[in-house]
Amino acid sequence: LSDWTTAAPEHRGGTLGESIGSDGMRRYWNTSGNLYSARPQDVGGNLQTSLQDDYKATEDVFATYVMGTWDIGALRAIAGVRVENTQFDATGNQV
């Protein structure tokens, strides 16, 4: 694991200790990934697990807010209205 560690990241709460760097992991996988393979009995399950998490989703929220304040003597009335339009789209695989 020493090939994968990086210096402790800066954090306002103090030192968090060493972390694992993705660059080292990628280098290892690119040079040694062929040493690993799924067991034949696991290939179907791995494919199903991989496909069930493949999806794309987008959400757009358009909103506006209007607020008014009215002072009537010692009474202050505050009212507001929010109007929102949400558009959601998702595409995925069925397993």
What per-residue confidence (pLDDT) applies to 81? 97
Q: How far is CA 50 from CA 35, 45, 68, 88, 93, in A?
A: 21, 8, 52, 24, 10
Q: Give per-10-residue mean pLDDT for the chain (95 aa).
A: 76 77 85 84 77 82 96 95 95 71
What per-residue confidence (pLDDT) applies to 36? 83
Domain ranges within the chain, ordered by starting residue:
5-90
**Quick check: pTM over 0.85?**
no
The angle formed by the CA atoms of residues 82, 83 and 86, to the nearest 5 degrees, is: 125
